[in-house]
């Protein structure tokens, strides 16, 4: 069989067979910690209270619902998706106690999820939640790694997962919890696909590019598959602020203007088109609305400085209405052309102007390990986790070698 005869998922499956270096596992530990901290921060949310009545018993199953609640989960820009909340609960739920093996599974899950997500086009993203669509593939790859699946079994796992993947954006228009369901569904779908494939159930090889595959159904012009020499977890950004990632460049630019004493009076935000599609909300009515509001994000910085999670709560939404009224948003064609390789924004006020091509936490402006740990501690504190218990989880994740130590602490949280 020649290279041209291989399907896209076969090429991905072959790519995932490579050995994973220690330095990549070290990076994966930071992303695992970041996701665990997001779970901790979501402990006291409405969705967490609903889960208490839902009958879920396994901590990883519960955690799958909570990793995205605060909108602080990691993000890949060109794939426009959040790998952590789909991959890490799958890794923890699949059994096995060697943390290095779990980290390898996470790296492979990120690779498959990002590789497939980055092929999806603007037509897909207009209607489909990329994290859900590609998340089932990422979960399948991670679960297959945990099961020591061979290459053929991995191909079937990806094919089975892809045959039922998806998640529609309609949930953005209603005050519902479907976004969290998307993540739990991706996890469950990927795990089931991997287990069935290892048992001998076969899946379609051409699930992506086939005549009735995912691309034909949901894309106008899918992008080519990019297989890099390294691992694409290195391309994933951390999110320092509790808002939609599309709002982060505006927050960072506002912070720079404020530090210069130039964030006064009326402010104009010029940014890329998708940031407006998702985050042009001048009058947010809920916590979720506020997290998806450029106007609210900039108003926080204008009135209060560095955004805190409390700044997106109902009291702050009401208090910041006057500041929001001073913020105007518009598209920058230049920044739209640069997107999604770069998430940028320009902020202008009467006293100054700042343009940022990338947001804090992107590979071009990375968070240090200390910065990731600081964020983790803040999220854990928001979720009611004590300092000592937070330190235990940080140590178990960044220095430990057993999955069971992480699960034991997670079980106590949930």
Are 342 and 288 contained in the same domain?
yes
pLDDT at residue 57, rounded to an integer: 65
**Segment among 11-15, 46-50, 109-113 with least mean pLDDT:** 46-50
Are 194 and 122 contained in the same domain?
yes
**Phi then psi dihedrals of residue 331, to 5 deg:** -85, 140
| Mean predicted confidence (pLDDT) in 73-91 | 97
The answer to the question of residue 193 being in a domain is yes
| Mean predicted confidence (pLDDT) in 7-36 | 98
pLDDT at residue 49, rounded to an integer: 87
Both structure tokens of 347: 């902020």
Are 85 and 22 contained in the same domain?
yes
The answer to the question of residue 363 being in a domain is no
How does strand 345-349 pair with strand 267-271?
A: antiparallel
With pLDDT > 70 as the criterion, what percentage of the chain qualifies? 98
Instruction: State yes or no: pLDDT of 55 exceeds 80.
Output: no
- Mind listing the pLDDT tens digit for each residue in 283-319? 999 999 999 999 999 999 999 999 999 999 999 999 9
Are 297 and 312 contained in the same domain?
yes
- Could you give the dihedral angle defined by the CA atoms of residues 181, 186, 187 and 190, in that order, rounded to the nearest 10 degrees? 160
Determine contact, residues 121/220, Cβ cutoff 8 Å. yes
Determine contact, residues 192/157, Cβ cutoff 8 Å. no
Cα separation, 250 vs 356, whole angstroms: 8
Are 33 and 179 contained in the same domain?
yes
CA nearest neighbour of 267 among 332, 352, 323, 348: 348
| Mean predicted confidence (pLDDT) in 363-386 | 96
Residues with Cβ within 8 Å of residue 6, at least 6 apart in sequence: 14
| Mean predicted confidence (pLDDT) in 16-28 | 97
Instruction: State yes or no: pLDDT of 195 exceeds 80.
Output: yes
| Mean predicted confidence (pLDDT) in 319-335 | 97
The answer to the question of residue 365 being in a domain is no
Residue 120 burial (CB count, 10 A): 23
Give me the count of residues in the chain.
Answer: 414
Instruction: Count structural domains, the chain.
Output: 2
Confidence of residue 2 (pLDDT cuts 50, 70, 90): very low
Are 230 and 256 contained in the same domain?
no
pLDDT at residue 51, rounded to an integer: 84
Report angle CA 145, 149, 151 to the nearest 5 degrees.
105
Residue 92 burial (CB count, 10 A): 28
Q: Which domain holds residue 319?
A: 245-356
pLDDT at residue 52, rounded to an integer: 79
Are 212 and 309 contained in the same domain?
no
Cα separation, 54 vs 312, whole angstroms: 27
The answer to the question of residue 14 being in a domain is yes
Instruction: State yes or no: pLDDT of 332 exceeds 60.
Output: yes
Are 250 and 291 contained in the same domain?
yes
Instruction: State yes or no: pLDDT of 1 exceeds 50.
Output: no
Confidence of residue 92 (pLDDT cuts 50, 70, 90): very high
Instruction: State yes or no: pLDDT of 124 exceeds 80.
Output: yes
The answer to the question of residue 364 being in a domain is no
Are 204 and 103 contained in the same domain?
yes
The answer to the question of residue 336 being in a domain is yes
pTM: 0.93
- Mind listing the pLDDT tens digit for each residue in 57-70? 678 888 999 999 99
| Mean predicted confidence (pLDDT) in 343-359 | 95
Instruction: State yes or no: pLDDT of 143 exceeds 80.
Output: yes
Confidence of residue 5 (pLDDT cuts 50, 70, 90): confident
Are 233 and 306 contained in the same domain?
no
pLDDT at residue 388, rounded to an integer: 97
| Mean predicted confidence (pLDDT) in 87-99 | 96
**Phi then psi dihedrals of residue 293, to 5 deg:** -125, 115
Are 287 and 249 contained in the same domain?
yes
Considering only the C-alpha atoms of the chain, give the largest distance between any 2 of them, rounded to a whole number of Å.
66
Confidence of residue 53 (pLDDT cuts 50, 70, 90): confident
pLDDT at residue 228, rounded to an integer: 86
Peptide bond into 158 cis (omega under 30): no
The answer to the question of residue 141 being in a domain is yes
CATH number assigned to the domain comprising residue 300: 3.30.1330.120
- Mind listing the pLDDT tens digit for each residue in 269-283? 999 999 999 999 999
The answer to the question of residue 19 being in a domain is yes
Are 99 and 136 contained in the same domain?
yes
């Amino acid at each position: 069989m020649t290279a041209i005869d291989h399907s896209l998922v076969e090429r991905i499956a072959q790519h995932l067979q490579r050995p994973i270096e220690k330095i990549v596992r070290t990076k994966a530990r930071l992303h695992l910690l970041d996701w665990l901290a997001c779970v901790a921060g979501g402990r006291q949310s409405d969705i967490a209270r609903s889960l208490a009545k839902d009958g879920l018993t396994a901590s990883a199953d519960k955690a799958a619902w909570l990793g995205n609640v605060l909108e602080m989960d990691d993000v890949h820009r060109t794939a426009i998706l959040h790998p952590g909340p789909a991959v890490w609960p799958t890794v923890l739920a699949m059994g096995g106690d060697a943390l290095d093996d779990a980290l390898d599974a996470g790296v492979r899950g990120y690779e498959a999820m990002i590789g497939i997500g980055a092929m999806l086009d603007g037509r897909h993203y207009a209607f489909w939640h990329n994290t859900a669509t590609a998340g089932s593939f990422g979960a399948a790859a991670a679960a297959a790694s945990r099961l020591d699946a061979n290459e053929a079994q991995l191909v079937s796992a990806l094919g089975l997962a892809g045959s039922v993947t998806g998640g529609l954006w309609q949930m953005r228009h209603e005050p519902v919890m479907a976004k969290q369901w998307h993540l739990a569904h991706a996890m469950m779908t990927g795990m089931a696909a991997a287990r069935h494939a290892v048992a001998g159930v076969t899946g379609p090889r051409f699930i992506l590019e086939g005549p009735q595959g995912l691309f034909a159904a949901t894309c106008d012009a899918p992008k080519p598959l990019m297989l890099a020499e390294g691992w694409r977890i290195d391309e994933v950004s951390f999110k320092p602020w509790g808002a939609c990632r599309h709002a982060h460049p505006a927050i960072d630019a506002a912070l720079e203007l404020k530090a210069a004493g130039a964030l006064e009076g009326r402010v104009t935000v010029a940014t890329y088109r998708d940031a407006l599609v998702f985050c042009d909300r001048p009058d947010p009515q809920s916590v979720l609305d506020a997290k998806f509001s450029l106007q609210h994000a900039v108003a926080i910085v204008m009135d209060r400085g560095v955004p805190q999670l409390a700044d997106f709560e109902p009291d702050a939404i009401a208090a910041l209405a006057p500041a929001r009224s001073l913020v105007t948003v518009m598209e920058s064609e230049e920044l739209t052309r640069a997107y999604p390789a770069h998430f940028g924004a320009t902020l202008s006020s009467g006293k100054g102007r700042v343009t940022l091509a990338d947001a804090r936490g992107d590979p071009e402006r990375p968070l240090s390990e200390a910065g990731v740990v600081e964020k983790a501690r803040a999220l854990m504190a928001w979720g009611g986790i004590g300092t000592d218990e937070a330190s235990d989880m940080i140590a178990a994740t960044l220095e430990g070698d057993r999955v069971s130590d992480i699960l034991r602490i997670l079980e106590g949280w949930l």
